[in-house]
Amino acid sequence: MNQHRITKAIRSQVERTNEMEHSSPLFLTSSFCFENAEDMRAAFADETDDNIYSRFSNPSVQEFVNRVCIMEGAEAGFATASGMSAVFASFMALLKQGDHLLACNAIFGSTHTVITKYLPKYGIEHTYFKADKPEEWESLIRPTTRMIYVETPTNPGLDILDLSALSALAKKHNLILNVDNCFATPVSQQPILLGADLVVHSATKWLDGQGRVLGGVVVGRKDLIKDIYLFCRSTGPAMSPFNAWVLSKSMETLEVRMERHASNALYLAEALSNHPKLNWIKYPFLSSHPQHAIAKKQMRDGGGIVCFELSGGLEAGRTFLNSLQMLSLTANLGDTRSIVSHPASTTHAKLTEEERQTVGITPGLIRISVGLENKDDILNDILQALNRL
């Protein structure tokens, strides 16, 4: 019986103990026992895939990884303590001194810091390209370029990059295409099926979707994951088995949650279109989105993030945040509860004014992570706050 990937992910389970529990057990242990010296020797010699130590592998962590692999259509994966450790491991394991990384400039703030501030310390160079200038991308590739790194939709500007075009470019020049699929989630978009070599996630966001735990995961080509695994096994950014157990359960509800997040987000985006207090509103599945056609081609839904620009700039941003009665002011996204954020003063505050300008983060930019509350309650809170401007 050829089951749907969602069914497979929900029903996949690494182990069932003698208790025959239905929900997956939690393997909260730092190490694993061996019957005898020979079994232990064989495990250390990589002749078996027995668990040795939870920095290397753990059944609860493996179950979460397996579920992400099924959802993404990936061969293999490794889970890490946070999204940033997944991003960092994918760079450190696969790039070396003298290599060049080509990255879109519209990326998560900490990823930008890693590429700009830390990779150069190890002799890894980079060039940023603009999301909306695909005609320039190929000319930025150098003989030493080894990886292309992108997010789509981008954070927080919601630009859409054409994954099939990027994959063709990567294949032509023999580069690794590494995609942060945090915003879309595999429910909406499967970059590996479009030709990406690796997918990284902050599992902290939609994958958990309930604001409880930090986590990260990188999935993709087996040979690349092997290198990432060996790097992580020695350097230690392992995911906690407890977090993995929480996240594995979250994967069972990911599709149903994302469908509601996306339908609430589309409702909000349509209702706020042409609002007099906004310069513009952006959502991938609004026909006014500049890359709407690409979004429709590679995404099943528009995701749970909506952003807009207040015409009143910084002062309007402050008043808007202070006028909201229900939406949470918190440094996260991808939760059951709707969240508002002001990137210029928070996630992207470490960028220079000029860097913020080039990635489109203006003083009045507001990002809404649309939750699972009733859609009119979310809309009404935003409308009453806009009315005070």
Interacting residues toward ligand PLP by CB under 6 A:
82-84, 108, 110-111, 151, 155, 180, 182-183, 202, 204-205, 214, 216
Least distance between ligand PLP and beta carbon 159 (Å): 13
Pairwise CA distance, residues 187 & 190, whole Å: 8
Helix residue ranges, H only, the chain: 5-11, 37-44, 59-72, 83-94, 109-113, 134-137, 163-172, 185-188, 222-235, 241-272, 292-298, 313-323, 353-358, 375-387
Closer by beta carbon to ligand PLP, 83 or else 302: 83
Sorted by sequence, the CB contacts under 8 Å of residue 158 that are 6+ apart come out as 183, 282, 283, 284, 289, 305, 307
**Residue among 108 and 141 whose Cβ is closer to ligand PLP:** 108
DSSP-assigned letter for residue 25: P
Q: Which is nearer to ligand PLP, 149 or 278 (CB)?
A: 149
* Exposure on the CB side of residue 290, measured as CA atoms within 13 A: 11
Q: Which is nearer to ligand PLP, 51 or 202 (CB)?
A: 202
Angstrom distances, CA of residue 302 to CA of 13, 68, 252, 326, 383: 30, 20, 21, 23, 22
How far is residue 373 from each of residues 71, 111, 328, 377, measured CA to CA in Å? 26, 31, 12, 7
For residue 255, the minimal CB distance to ligand PLP (Å) is: 20
Residue 84 or residue 192: which is nearer to ligand PLP going by CB? 84
Task: Give the CB-nearest residue to ligand PLP.
Answer: 83
| Residues sharing a CB contact under 8 Å with residue 203, sequence separation 6 or more, in sequence order | 64, 68, 79, 83, 213, 214, 215, 216, 217, 247
Min CB(83)–ligand PLP separation in Å: 2
Q: How far is the CB of 126 from ligand PLP (least distance, A)?
A: 17
Could you please report the per-residue DSSP string of 90-104? HHHHH--TT-EEEEE
Nearer Cβ to ligand PLP, position 216 or 371?
A: 216
Nearer to ligand PLP, 112 or 289 (CB): 112
CB of 57 to ligand PLP, least distance (A): 21
Cβ 70 to ligand PLP, closest distance in Å? Answer: 21
Closer to ligand PLP by CB, 51 or 111: give it: 111
For CA atoms 379, 207, 301, 179, give the dihedral sign.
Answer: positive
What's the full length of the chain, in residues? 389
Q: Minimum Å distance from CB 11 to ligand PLP?
A: 27
Query: What's the closest the beta carbon of residue 291 comes to ligand PLP, in angstroms?
Result: 17
